[in-house]
Structure 1
Amino acid sequence: MAIEFREVTKAYPDGTVAVDELSLTVEDGTITVLVGPSGCGKTTSLRMVNRMVEPTSGTVLVNGADVRDADPALLRRGIGYVIQHAGLFPHRTVLSNIATVPMLSGWDRRKALARAEELLDTVGLPAELGTRYPAQLSGGQQQRVGVARALAADPPVLLMDEPFSAVDPVVREGLQDELLRLQSQLGKTIVFVTHDIDEAMRLGDRVAVLRVGGKLAQYGTPSEVLRHPVDDFVAGFVGRDRGYRGLSFLSAEDVRVEEVPTVRLGETGLVAAPHWRLAVNDRGEPRGWLAPESGVDGPLAESDLLAGGSLYRRGTPIRGALDAALSSPASLGVVVDDEGRALGVVTASQVLDVIERHPEGVAAT
């Protein structure tokens, strides 16, 4: 279900123009990210899709129909909406929050709650959280519940207004991963608002960069925006390090994964060795590093280890491999599979060698 903005303007009585003749098309089944500085009209543009804001002029179409011809309440029930801090009802349980829209749409209560239970699993939350209240959840868990609530009635369109900006960076990355996983399964048409250019480049199939005053500066794929910014404003907004961001679009498939000596948590009789050893748990997941010339009296515990840095998941862009190698105390980036099990390691020099062989994959400077 495509979304189209046709010369859409939003002006207020005091003369402020929030959105100025915006024209762009959000293709069916894709994520389009609206990004730009404060005051660029990105949230206003988003809210015009579900008529929470009415345009002054121009037309917003959803699946070819002008949204102004739809009843606002019915329109909103057919469009998922996720905001900062999740916006959950504090006096309702998690399951009741998720079931809100289906019940408003006339679903039987039992059917709506069954759908809510199903969606808890879909967004990666344990079933036991269903009986809790929002205040009993972490910020990241609340945001996942907010996503589940937006998906409850299976809307074809999902609007997301800076949904992850209020959580810490580690949780935020996990939520971004979860959104990409869900999108690969569900194929929704998503409009996502953020002020974070890294988030825009990571999530978007297409990225719309807006100027202050609501003018569209550039609309294209993340790679196009990074490699070919149309003017100094876009170049400045995406940053001088856009060449590094461009690594997000270069595959790491040519980077050779090397074996690494491993030890297991709980293992005994570990004597000093001249090299770094990767510690893993019983599931094969990396837990940290045992430094050279370090031995352990008794069972190996996590307190004996050095933190391992970031992990690189096989099959994802090469930027993650470089991050893993540079953040590791051993200068060895740990490579994991989709289940988080250690496969081996890569070095920064191996990654840089691949980058040098494929300069076309990195954004122009």
Structure 2
Amino acid sequence: MRRDLDTVHLWGDGYWIWLIRLTNDRISVGVSLHKTRTDLDRNLRTAFWQIIRRYPMLDWLKPENALDFSAYRDLQYISDTYVSPERYVIVGDASSIIDAYYSQGISLSLSTSWHGANIVQRDLSEGVLDTDYIRHVNDAVLADWRIMRSMVKSKYGRAIADSRFFILDHWIDYLVFGSATGIRWGISRWLSQTDGYTSNETPDLASLRVRLGRRLFLSQSVAPFSLVHPARVAGFVERLHENAARRAVWRLDHGVNLRATTGAMRADAPMPALWRLPFLRYRRRADLTMKALREPSFVNLKVGSKPPAVTKTFGVFLLAITAWALGYDVVDTAVRRAFHGVRGLMRRGEGGKANGPEGAARETQLSRTP
């Protein structure tokens, strides 16, 4: 695969870098950093070049070749309303910004505006302003914002230096996005078959629109997510990130240096082999990349076709893999903590012996020596 056709990300302590190839031999280079970094110059242009110069592979980037430069502080914000009973809708960057990390602005804007159009359509055609639907949209979009924020927040902390956390933290993100595959397939199907007009709906598509109205959110995309309040789903994802980070920081603080691990994902190897985690220390190469799979026939579908049955259970499958991977992380870190605690007790015990009665007698004898 040609590297110049892809977005490249680099990570550091409290920042990340993007490089995106553009047209006409231009490239977009950006640095997103945590505002608590006190070792960098307060001038953001100077801080940008301080970080870029840390990477020899980026020596070809020169200030004199910059075509444009922009910098922003305190970028994150959020609206307190997305859809209002006062008959207005706020979508996209007008409603909230988190971070450029996953570039979800267009996706979230699409889903929120679709819900808004759905509410307007029923209000105009049936004279019913569905306040329950409005409340659900506001709750779910806020939950989606919290989920996206938890994904981004974990990437700026110390824990990202731990190789296992790096993989597991991104896997939690994949759990969220992967679980939404089926429902996003549904909105693509509805739009392509109706051209966006409810008058073109078949009974099947009308039923699909009702289902999309409930579940076209990251926090509601698949069971069991769709069975609980969106805020609880957001809290669950936040805790997954926070607890994984807490375990990683403990490892870093106590000198547990895990092997650098590779985990490539491709179209023919769509997930890392997380079941190898317990055996990485015994493998010649710490690699979680799966072998290439033969592309199954069900993925060769036309736009607007029904999704394969496997997408209905894909989210549950991802949850099971996540439970295994995080469960191993919990157990492995707990065992390491226990051994660390036992070694600490043994060292304190040995220190106590050195200061016992015999030691005190020697100290007394020495103190009486002229």
TM-score by length of 2: 0.28
Which protein has the larger Cα radius of gyration, Structure 1 or Structure 2? 2
Instruction: Specify which structure has the bigger relative contact order, considering alpha-carbon pairs within 8 angstroms and separated by 6 or more residues.
Output: 1
TM-score (norm 1): 0.28
Structure number with the higher strand fraction is 1
